[in-house]
Structure 1
Amino acid sequence: EGINVLEHTEASEVRYDGQHFILKTNAGTLKAEQLLVATGRTPNTENLDLKTIGVQTERGAITINDRMQTSNSRVYAAGDCTNQPKFVYVAAAGGSRAAINMTGGDAHLDLSAMPEVIFTDPQVATVGLSEADAKTGGYVTESRTLGLENVPRALVNFDTQGFIKIVAESGSGRLLGVQVVAGEAGELIQAAVMAIRAGMTVNELADELFPYLTMVEGL
């Protein structure tokens, strides 16, 4: 698609000559008419004077526990102003639990099986642990990667670009994580979320009935 991706590249200097942005990098000099600088998001909390009420923050993000409670037990927070992952569905789930807890309930937010989707084309989706993260966490893993050319739905779609990867605990076969690159990765990943949440093994997952000619059959 005409996109050139430079890996392990850092810019040391940026200047604008009136027509072009000129970047000096360790991969050479780049010139472009437009420049996008993506540096992440910072919670808009600096004017809330949170210190005066004993609400702790880290780099502007309000620190909360799994009950959405801040360091001030009378104050709750949810969404992108907190130190939780910045996803719409995490914010919605946190908001409902905060409301329950503020009115005397006891609701917790478990992010151990949290899906993440990047809506590129093809989509990229993940849940649980990657192979590298699992090994860092002390797990002995066994992994399998399935190219989409082996998935009938992808063949029918004439789009076999991508793969499905499953990471499991060696021995027990317990599912630890799933990573998907596919046109419908965002739809497929939810089945993996439920399987990880249920503590399923790869054999238990394989024994389930999946509709024929669906992408999720690739699991």
Structure 2
Amino acid sequence: TPNTENLDLKTIGVQTERGTITINERMQTSNSRVYAAGDCTNQPQFVYVAAAGGSRAAINMTGGDAHLDLSAMPEVIFTDPQVATVGLSEADAKTGGYVTESRTLGLENVPRALVNFNTQGFIKIVAESGSGRLLGVQVVAGEAGELIQAAVMAIRAGMTVNELADELFPYLTMVEGLKLCAQTFTKDVSQLSCCAG
């Protein structure tokens, strides 16, 4: 819980909830002249979110118009293996009213994982049924934190599973697993030769 209770924010019209300062996508509080960013706010507590929020708050305080869109925000837990996610989980997508399809690819199907002798983990893609639009990606892998950023950009770009499956990915990289997982929506990747696609 942020340490905001002794700041007397209520006096200046700044709304808090359980100690966090409530802000909008412009970093503006309920008092339109007060901005906040970082761990004292109701945003996810990641250093990269705080940094992005701080820069946008500064722009907005000086008359600019900058928003912080967290819809494709990556999250990484640095365990062994790492756990990373972006976008919606299958459960969150269904709660949000989406009809979904998903595929999970075990790392034993990713050539780089085989070469590394580390096939513990998986890549999961959640897509909107019908359109195939990417809604979320979850990864458990030794390099999940490195791999997730490609998924962030794919979701931010509004890509579909078919578009992701058709992209060129360098062979013998972990990020190639994203392409392979996308391909599982239409084919059995265990039957493909290397570099097939």
Task: Return the TM-score normalized by structure 1.
Answer: 0.80
1:89 maps onto 2:40 in alignment: no
CA offsets, 1:35-91, max 9 Å, x none? xxxxxxx00111111111111100010000000000111100000000001111100
Partners of 2:94 and 2:51 in 1: CA distance: 32
Q: Select the structure of larger CA radius of gyration.
A: 1
Give the number of aligned pairs.
Answer: 177
Partners of 2:10 and 2:100 in 1: CA distance: 44
Structure 1 spans left out of the alignment, 5+ residues: 1-41
In structure 2, the residue matched to 1:18 is none
Quick check: which one's strand share is greater? Answer: 1
Instruction: State the superposition RMSD in angstroms.
Output: 0.5
CA offsets, 1:187-206, max 9 Å, x none? 00000000000000001011
In structure 2, the residue matched to 1:117 is 76
Quick check: which one's helix share is greater? Answer: 2
* Partner-residue secondary structure (3-state), 1:108: coil
CA offsets, 1:123-171, max 9 Å, x none? 0000011111111111111110000000000001000000000000111
1:100 Cα deviation after fit = 0.1
* Partner-residue secondary structure (3-state), 1:111: coil
Percentage of identical aligned residues: 98
* Partner-residue secondary structure (3-state), 1:47: helix
4+ aligned runs moved over 3 Å, structure 1: none
Larger RCO (CA under 8 A, 6+ residues apart) = 2
Structure 2 spans left out of the alignment, 5+ residues: 178-197
1:183 Cα deviation after fit = 0.2
Partners of 1:142 and 1:50 in 2: CA distance: 45
* Partner-residue secondary structure (3-state), 2:5: coil
Aligned partner of 2:105 among 135, 140, 146: 146
Task: Return the TM-score normalized by structure 2.
Answer: 0.89
